[in-house]
Structure 1
Amino acid sequence: MPKNQEDIKFVNQLKYSRWNPEYRLWEVPDYPGNLDLIRDHFNDRIGQVIYHESFDISVSNETYTIGRNEVLAFKTRTRRLRIIFGFDNELRKLIKTFPYSSWDSKNKWWNLPYSEVYLNKIQELSADRGLGFRYEEEPDGEPGIKRVTPFDLANYRVCPEAMVLNLKELRYSTSTLKTYTSLFEEFINYYHTYEINAISEQQIIAFLRFLVMDRKVSASYQNQAINAIKFYYERVLGGQRKFYFIDRPKKERTLPTVLNTEETLALFDAAINIKHKCAIMLAYSAGLRLGEITNLKISDIDRERMQIRVVSGKGKKDRVTKLAHNFLNTLDEYLESYRPKEFLFEGEKGHQYSVSSLQTVIKEISARAGIKKRVTMHTLRHTFGTHSLEGGTDLRYIQNMMGHESSKTTEIYTHVTTKGFDQIKSPLDLLNLKKKD
């Protein structure tokens, strides 16, 4: 359409409309009523309405929402990769160079064999092009029902602004803000025909049962959903506080995955990129959380005291942890190569390195190292706690360095450590078993 501010303002008001600079056109979701609104606005200025077959980007009956500047790499159970993204000619050219790659015109994605080399190249080019990169795997077993997305519901409701403002005023972390708003949106769109303040106690409990029975979410996910709902009705509504009884799930008592020293060294050796090696060595040597690594600034490194200052860690608490002597050479090599300006790890245009990028990096490196365990950045934090305990560090010091509010959290590492196991004998080994002739 010709450039006209009134028309542009109208199209912008249509939910999830967007401008496509590549083809210089506006894209609007085919929600019920949208076409009627467009016809009413443009009237006889519409030259022609052409109907095309619509499609969803779906995998195993799952609909994926891809951001306008995002690339999704999806690994299937059959070890195939599906690469989904908006039109980008450079990315398309790269994928076409991979052997046995093919374009699925029906589903609008690229198909290719699973390869870490392919993933690395796609991720690197995505970063160079200023595109976000997301990696997901098809889960084993029978999946639960997927949550409603804006593409499933014409009148999809976003989190009330009052709740967002309240979270910000109380200085909740960006991560918590995203989690609470996302979970509350799932809740209010489950009851999308009801006024938010009219949803009853019984309906809240029914929704929480739905999460467990039909969505098959984890206990942690359910707990966060409860917290998000309670926050709105108790903190946002204030005087209109709702009281309701909800059975909270018991916290799953699982022991953390921990690497042994050989696996830890193999992980470092498998890190080819100095930036990636620096990040995983830092996570292990200082016991940092994933978000703490990406938030870390160069000024937080205190070489004189051999300390790392963690500013506003979990629970908005500052703390200090150990700066390892053996880490300094790797750190200096990285700083010399990348020359970050503010944050220790920076992505495009000096912004913080993304959490999702680090998650992908550790997965690739652990596979390259041949480690069979499921390794995440948090695994390195658990390994720090366990190895520190085995090295003779007092639990109290470990608690302070890791930023645990309760000593009970730190005590989990006493159940993981193998120190002294060689002195323990199984009752079976004490029996004088007769050998068969």
Structure 2
Amino acid sequence: MNWNATIITHKGEKRIAVAVKRTEEHTAFIRGFVGSKWSQTLKTWHIPDTEENRAYFGLPLTSTFVPNEEGRAQITKFKSWLDSKRYSPNTVKTYIDAVKSFLVYFNHKKLEDITNQDLIQYNNDYILRNNYSESFQNQIVNALKLFFKITGSENFDVEKIERPKRAKKLPIVLSKEEVNRLIEVTGNLKHKTLLALIYSSGLRISEALNIKPKDVDSKRMLIHVKNAKGKKDRYTLLSHKVLVMMREYYQVYQPKMYLFEGTKGRMYSSRSAQAALQNAAVKAKITKRISLHTLRHSFATHLLESGTDLRFIQELLGHSSPKTTMIYTHVSSTSFKNITNPFDM
């Protein structure tokens, strides 16, 4: 995919302008970046000017985005500790990025001088000002609590850090007809098979991309999901229809290590998978704001509506607590079917 990225100042704020072709695929790709916006004035897409985004588009990094020498040394120690405790690579990256973001903001301070008040300032001036989500703020809090607990600081009281209140949002769910339409309009066999697998097995995107051909048990009609969230293995359902699609896909692409591979046999990227979904959503004329996780939500909701016991759904999804699975009772239409609307009376 071709693009041209440059640093710009838009409305007094540093941004990265990304010029891409005005196609459905390119639009879905750029929308995959958090904080992406279209400027009617500049006639270009632009995204937040962060170290990660600069690195992705090959733009030069600046010292502004690098913690001071003490911060870098402590981050190295923190990463070593996380690795020794066998935290997952995703968790390590999330925590390191969160700590790095915080320490960059207080480059002018020694670690021993950072206080809880600085975290409040960071929340107000950076997270809230840039309209980042509660989950992002929660990641920052989790990372900093662990970081300062490990590195130690007299002025930073870990026990007095409060997490933000989470908004009680219900998951967006597609109807069975919408899921069918979404998959039907997907012309690319790899994308079609991937989307169908995620929905029919209730997989997280990371789980789907980590699946290897040997994990598919066609005799028992199960998929072995290995080392999933929380380092837990589990089995989930394998659809007969999806198995037919997978066999056709396997004959055409002949993957070597992972079931879904990108260039040079590497694991297929989640960004490419997300772009495929958004492209399909446009073609299927689905106006809901969906992500790949929406397919997992839809899988669970449709199982519940068809009468599957909540405990089995919990097992299939790999939830540690039944409370997590209970959210689908709030989006299922089953409980409302026997209620007569007073307007219809």
Q: Which residue of 1 aligns with 2:37?
A: 138
Larger Rg: 1
In the alignment, the residues of structure 2 paired with residue 287 and residue 304 of structure 1 have an alpha-carbon distance, to the nearest angstrom, of 20
User: Percent identity of the aligned residues?
Assistant: 37
Q: Is the 8 A contact 2:172 2:297 kept in 1?
A: yes
Q: Number of matched residues?
A: 317
Q: Which residue of 2 aligns with 1:213?
A: 128
- Structure 2: where are the runs of 5+ without partners? 40-46, 52-60
Q: Is the 8 A contact 1:148 1:189 kept in 2?
A: no
Shift of 1:242: 4.3
Instruction: Report whether the alignment pairs 1:257 with 2:172.
Output: yes
Q: Deviations over 1:111-131 (max 9, x none)?
A: x5x2226669xx8xxxxxxxx
Structure 2 matches for 1:211-360, cutoff 5 A? Answer: 211-237=126-152, 242-360=157-275
Q: Deviations over 1:75-127 (max 9, x none)?
A: xxxxxxx23xxxxxxxxxxxxxxxxxxxxxxxxxxxx5x2226669xx8xxxx
In the alignment, the residues of structure 2 paired with residue 282 and residue 318 of structure 1 have an alpha-carbon distance, to the nearest angstrom, of 18
Residues 212, 396 of structure 1: CA spacing in aligned structure 2 closer, same or farther, 3 A cutoff? same
Shift of 1:247: 2.6
Q: Is the 8 A contact 2:200 2:239 kept in 1?
A: yes
- Structure 1: where are the runs of 5+ without partners? 1-54, 65-71, 75-81, 84-111, 124-132, 431-437
In the alignment, the residues of structure 2 paired with residue 411 and residue 318 of structure 1 have an alpha-carbon distance, to the nearest angstrom, of 21
Q: Which residue of 2 aligns with 1:407?
A: 322
Residues 58, 178 of structure 1: CA spacing in aligned structure 2 closer, same or farther, 3 A cutoff? farther
Structure 2 counterpart of 1:201, from 94, 103, 116: 116
In the alignment, the residues of structure 1 paired with residue 183 and residue 208 of structure 2 have an alpha-carbon distance, to the nearest angstrom, of 17
Shift of 1:312: 1.0
3-state DSSP class of the match of 1:392?
Answer: coil
Q: With the length of structure 1 as denominator, give the TM-score of the two structures.
A: 0.67
In the alignment, the residues of structure 2 paired with residue 238 and residue 320 of structure 1 have an alpha-carbon distance, to the nearest angstrom, of 44
Matched letter for residue 323 of structure 1: L
3-state DSSP class of the match of 2:83?
Answer: helix
Matched letter for residue 63 of structure 1: R
Matched letter for residue 300 of structure 1: D
Q: Deviations over 1:276-312 (max 9, x none)?
A: 0110001100000011111111111111111111111
- Whichever structure has more helix as a proportion of its residues is 2
Structure 1 counterpart of 2:94, from 161, 174, 179: 179
Q: Which residue of 2 aligns with 1:63?
A: 15
3-state DSSP class of the match of 2:62?
Answer: coil
In the alignment, the residues of structure 1 paired with residue 213 and residue 142 of structure 2 have an alpha-carbon distance, to the nearest angstrom, of 35
Point out which structure has higher relative CO (alpha carbons under 8 A, 6+ apart).
Answer: 2
Matched letter for residue 213 of structure 1: L
Instruction: Report whether the alignment pairs 1:365 with 2:280.
Output: yes
Structure 2 matches for 1:6-155, cutoff 5 A? Answer: 57-58=7-8, 60=10, 61-64=13-16, 74=18, 82-83=19-20, 112=21, 114-116=22-24, 135-136=32-33, 137-138=36-37, 149=51, 150-151=61-62, 153=64
Q: Is the 8 A contact 2:235 2:316 kept in 1?
A: yes
Q: Is the 8 A contact 1:205 1:246 kept in 2?
A: no
Matched letter for residue 62 of structure 2: F
Q: Which residue of 1 aligns with 2:56?
A: none
Structure 1 counterpart of 2:338, from 423, 430, 436: 423
